[in-house]
């Protein structure tokens, strides 16, 4: 079911991981950002849009994680944009003859048989430095940053004053770091870029979880920054997403535990041998 969150902006949430597909209404149709997880959810979304008389004229993937680059034939054959790095990551993945098997092994078992992969990852990369989505609709600014995943981008729907945050600023997920780069500093850079536009928006739509109003934008940025700072400093976070997770979301603590372990491993590798072993 589509839910209006601002003028011309609607959200369709998936059931399993609370993914938010964002619909922005334009003159000839809609821009669809990060559509849902399963075939049933995407067909439902397509049906809702047809009922509104709003065809999909463009798509956008905020980043190259599997749950943000899905698509279904019922949504049409509109161009699906992403950053140049997002598109490059998808091309590299799909160049492997066994890519469907690889992607399928990483799907949650609850929906593995319901997740369509035929149109997975077919992203058109925008030229480096592109700051606006090319479509016939309201101006949508692209904020590319290194947090969470290479090629990640947030969107500012300027007229509606909505921030589409991708996999950041969630009320159910703690910040998930990219360990293929500089996990702490890259995430802090991303948060700073989002903070730079905080006064320009009245709502934030995270990749997962609930939509936040104007009073939540800076609160969520500060909460994510506090979490990352505690990891950087080697402290235990007092984060409600860990201490009081929603029912059946206790497994988010496992994400946190894994990140603490990976950071410890990275630090151990950077230490001189004498510091690692206590021997010269």
Q: What is the pLDDT of residues 229-244, one digit of tens each?
A: 999 999 999 999 999 9
Query: What is the average per-residue pLDDT within 19-33?
Result: 97
Q: How confident is the model at residue 104 (pLDDT cuts 50, 70, 90)?
A: very high
Chain segment 174-194, per-residue pLDDT in tens: 999 999 989 999 999 999 999
User: What fold characterizes domain 2-277?
Assistant: Metallo-beta-lactamase; Chain A (3.60.15)
Chain segment 182-229, per-residue pLDDT in tens: 999 999 999 999 999 999 999 999 999 999 999 999 999 999 999 999
Q: pLDDT at position 276, please?
A: 46
Q: Say if strands 30-33 and 56-60 run parallel, antiparallel, or are unpaired.
A: parallel
Distance CA 232, CA 243 (A): 19
Query: What is the average per-residue pLDDT within 58-74?
Result: 98
What's the number of CA atoms in the CB half-sphere (13 Å) around residue 138? Answer: 18
Q: Which residues contact 40 (CB under 8 A, 6 or more apart)?
A: 114
Q: Give Dmax over CA atoms of the chain in angstroms.
A: 72
Parse the chain into domains and list their residue ranges. 2-277
Question: In this model, does residue 273 exceed pLDDT 80?
Answer: no
The 3 state secondary structure assigned to the chain is: CEEEEECCEEEEECCCCCEEEEEEECCCCEEEECCCCCHHHHHHHHHHHHHCCCCEEEEECCCCCHHHCCCCHHHCCCCEEECHHHHHHHHHHHCCCCHHHHHHHCCCCCCHHHCCCCCCCCCEECCCCCCECCCCCCCEEEEEECCCCCCEEEEEECCCCEEEEECCCCCCCCCCCCCCCCHHHHHHHHHHHHHCCHHHCCEEEECECCCEEHHHHHHHHHHHHHHHHHHHHCCCCCCHHHHCCCCCCCCHHHHHHHHHHHHHHHHHHHCCHHHHHCCC
Q: How confident is the model at residue 74 (pLDDT cuts 50, 70, 90)?
A: very high
Cβ pair 178, 76 in contact under 8 A: no
| CA angle, residues 55, 84, 10, in degrees to nearest 5 | 30
The pTM (predicted TM-score) of the whole model is 0.95
Q: Which residues contact 247 (CB under 8 A, 6 or more apart)?
A: none
Q: How confident is the model at residue 280 (pLDDT cuts 50, 70, 90)?
A: very low
Cβ pair 2, 48 in contact under 8 A: yes
Q: How confident is the model at residue 279 (pLDDT cuts 50, 70, 90)?
A: very low
Chain segment 129-167, per-residue pLDDT in tens: 999 999 999 999 999 999 999 999 999 999 999 999 999
pLDDT cut 70: percent of the chain above it: 96
């Amino acid at each position: 079911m589509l839910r209006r969150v601002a003028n011309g902006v609607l959200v369709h949430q998936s059931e399993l991981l609370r993914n938010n597909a964002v619909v922005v209404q334009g003159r000839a149709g809609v821009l669809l950002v990060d559509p849902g997880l399963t075939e049933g959810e995407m067909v439902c979304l397509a049906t809702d849009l047809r009922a509104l008389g709003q065809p999909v004229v463009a798509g956008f993937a905020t980043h190259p994680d599997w749950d943000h680059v899905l698509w279904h034939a019922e949504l049409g054959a509109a161009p699906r944009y992403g950053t140049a790095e997002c598109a490059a990551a998808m091309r590299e993945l799909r160049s492997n003859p066994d890519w469907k098997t690889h992607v399928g092994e990483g799907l949650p078992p609850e929906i593995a048989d319901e997740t369509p992969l035929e149109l997975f990852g077919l992203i058109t990369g925008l030229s480096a430095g592109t700051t606006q989505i090319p479509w016939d609709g309201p101006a949508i600014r692209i904020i590319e940053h290194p947090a969470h995943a290479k090629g990640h981008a947030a969107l500012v729907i300027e007229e509606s004053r909505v921030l589409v945050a991708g996999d950041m600023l969630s009320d159910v997920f703690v910040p998930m770091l990219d360990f293929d780069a500089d996990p702490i500093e890259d995430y802090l850079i991303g948060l700073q870029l989002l903070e730079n536009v905080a006064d320009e928006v009245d709502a934030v739509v995270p990749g997962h979880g609930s939509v936040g109003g104007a009073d939540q934008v800076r609160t969520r940025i500060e909460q994510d920054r506090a979490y990352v700072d505690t990891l950087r400093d080697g402290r235990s976070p007092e984060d409600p997403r860990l201490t009081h997770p929603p029912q059946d979301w206790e497994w988010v603590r496992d994400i946190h535990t894994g990140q603490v372990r990976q950071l410890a491993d990275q630090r151990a590798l950077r230490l001189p041998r004498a510091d690692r072993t206590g021997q010269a």
